[in-house]
Amino acid sequence: MKHLHLGEFEELVLLAVCGLGETAYAVPIQQRIETRTGRAATMGAVYAALDRLENKGFLASRLGAVTRQRGGKRKRFYEITGAGLAAVSAMRQARERMWDGLEWQPSLGLE
């Protein structure tokens, strides 16, 4: 398999899927990114990122069962794969190695 690049927005989506666990589908993913980063992503962007991640093999999806919610329309649930986990942790380690030994401490985002 060729080297799979993980884009910045893709990383956020992937982490969101991780954080949501079993309830990861497009709506909570979009909401989580919005509440945690302040970035209001359009659904088009979210779907596109999910597709890309799935094509890269970092995510797997399945259609949920038909329920009474939202007019019986099914949800597509996402789940992180082993490759996906490896990709996010590699990204995190890379980041940490870059930060390592830096004197200047930036204030961390959300506060």
The binding site for another protein (CB under 8 A) comprises 25-27, 30-31, 40, 42-45, 47-48, 51-52, 54-55, 61, 63, 69-71, 73-76
For 60, residues 6+ apart whose C-beta sits below 8 A from its C-beta are 54, 78, 79, 81
Nearer to another protein, 25 or 87 (CB): 25
C-alpha distance across the termini of the chain, in Å: 40
Minimum separation from the CB atom of position 85 to another protein (A): 19
Nearer to another protein, 35 or 92 (CB): 35
Minimum separation from the CB atom of position 59 to another protein (A): 9
CA distance 49 to 25: 13
